[in-house]
Amino acid sequence: MRVTMRRVLLVVGSVVALMVTLHLGQQVLECQQVLSERRHRLMRPENEELVMMDSNHVEYRYSKEMPLIFIGGVPRSGTTLMRAMLDAHPEVRCGEETRIIPRVLAMRQAWSKSGREKMRLDEAGVTDQVLDAAMQAFILEVIAKHGEPARYLCNKDPFTLKSSVYLSRLFPNSKFLLMVRDGRASVHSMITRKVTIAGFDLNSYRDCLTKWNKAIEVMYSQCLEIGRSRCLPVYYEQLVLHPEQSMHAIMKFLDISWSDTVLHHEELIGKPGGVSLSKIERSTDQVIKPVNMEALSKWIGHIPGDVLQDMAHIAPMLARLGYDPYANPPNYGHPDPLVVNNTHRVSVAAVRLSAATGGSAGVGLWGSAPTEPSGAEAAAEPNQKKSGGETDALFLLGDWD
């Protein structure tokens, strides 16, 4: 009887202990699940919004779902002009180059390409999902907070568009403007203005044109991969020759209402809600002027003869983008009357200032030396075959770098 009672007590105790253990185990699992959900929410900054307030106490909310605008291209291709014209719109803010965004994107790409590094990151729990969430949060934070808040935000860092496919995944409603310019003009501008770009030998037109070709090929291919609905090739030449027509097409592509202010960006430089310019960016002295043809054909007569003869081989992207690699000078088309008038104003102001300073300064009213008007006229000669774009792209030209 005594043994039987002991067994009964033992069984009952075991059952109770088992029930308590199961209950505690269930509690632990539920607690872990709650903590996991909380950690998951904390580690998902892409679901959170950045909230900013402007000087009028208007609240703006930004997230990865917003329609960010990315402007890029090979340096000296008109990216600064494009962002300045958009900046002139009352509902758009681009601001100066961040410089950090393309570098972080390059690092992210390097991590993915290195099999050993990716394995180490995965082993440490730093998966692609974690990295992408961090990239989203970082890029959005930089774009949103390095300038005044606005309804539409855009980023202009030329080499950012080497990662446009990746960015299109991070920000599903973003759109891209790829600035395309005659590579001969871009390279001449790099060399004469001594714009240092990693990997470009500024003592060699041949080397710079080869590097230009490689860079624009990568960007253009990614633009095509994203598709026409999200990436628009903007031809620099046509943007300056026909600013109103070009900007109407761009604003329609971006789904932003029209404003005449985008045609007069120079009037809004330094004004509240207008165009903010960097004191150290190389293009600042040019975009302070109205849209004009001042540097349309500056490259003509400066590229070595052997390079001109091999142009189609050195830079095959010229022909692919619609430029004639052997046209010297090229024909980019007829300028609008507004552009002709602006070009005349810039030239006259430059000559007057040069005369007033005894010709020693050589600096125009808007900050650069006057140029020969015949160069722009030659580039717009109507009796030549027009070059500078494909039929399915927006042929957007000019003197901006």
pLDDT of residue 271: 87
Give the single-character DSSP code of 110. H
pLDDT of residue 317: 98
Residue in this structure with the two tokens 């046509």, named with its chain if needed: 238
- Find the helix or strand (DSSP H, E) in which 377 lies: helix 373-379
- Classify 118 in phi/psi space as left (phi over 0), alpha (psi -120 to 50) or beta: alpha
CB count, 10 Å around CB of 129?
A: 10
Q: Concatenated DSSP letters for 192-246?
A: HTT---TT--TT-HHHHHHHHHHHHHHHHHHHHHH-TTTEEEEEHHHHHHSHHHH
**Residue with the two structure tokens 């950012």:** 160
Burial (CB count <10 Å: 0-12, 13-18, 19+), residue 360: exposed
Residue 349 confidence (pLDDT) = 81
pLDDT for the residue 177: 98
pLDDT of residue 122: 87
Cα separation values, 215 from 122, 247, 282, 344, Å: 30, 25, 20, 34
Structure token digits, residue 117:
């590094």
CA trace torsion 26, 28, 33, 35 (10° rounding): 160
pLDDT of residue 45: 45
Task: Return d(Cα 238, Cα 232) in angstroms, integer.
Answer: 14
175 beta partners? 69
Name which of 367, 331, 324, 365 is nearest 348 in CA terms.
365
Q: Which pLDDT does position 365 carry in this prediction? A: 47
Alpha-carbon span 79 to 100, nearest angstrom: 17
52-57 contacts at long range (C-beta below 8 A, 24 or more positions apart): 52/144, 52/145, 52/149, 53/149, 54/148, 54/149, 54/150, 55/148, 55/272
Of the candidates 185, 167, 176, which has an alpha carbon nearest to the alpha carbon of residue 75? 185
pLDDT for position 181: 97
**Which one from 49, 91, 97, 237 is the annotated catalytic residue?**
97
Quick one: which of 79, 75, 138, 143 has its CA closest to 105? 138
Q: Prior bond to 329 cis, omega within 30?
A: yes
Q: CA 291 to CA 288: how far, in whole Å?
A: 9
Is 97 among the catalytic positions?
Answer: yes
Upper half-sphere CA count for residue 293 (Cβ side, 13 Å): 27
Per-residue pLDDT tens listing for the chain (401 residues): 455 777 766 766 676 666 766 666 676 666 666 555 544 444 444 457 899 988 888 999 999 999 999 999 999 999 999 999 999 999 999 999 999 999 999 999 998 888 888 889 888 999 999 999 999 999 999 999 999 999 999 999 999 999 999 999 999 999 999 999 999 999 999 999 999 999 999 999 999 999 999 999 999 999 999 999 999 999 999 999 999 999 999 999 999 999 999 999 999 998 888 888 887 776 777 888 999 998 788 999 999 999 999 999 999 999 999 999 999 999 999 999 999 999 999 888 888 877 887 665 444 445 443 333 333 433 443 333 444 543 334 433 333 33
> Which residues in 201-228 are b (16+ Cβ under 10 Å) and which e?
ebeebbbbbbbbbebbebbbebbeebee
Report strand pairing: 59-62 vs 69-72: unpaired
Which of helix, strand or coil describes residue 63?
coil
pLDDT of 15 reads 67
d(C-alpha 330, C-alpha 337), whole Å: 20
Distance of CA 242 to the CA centre of its chain: 22
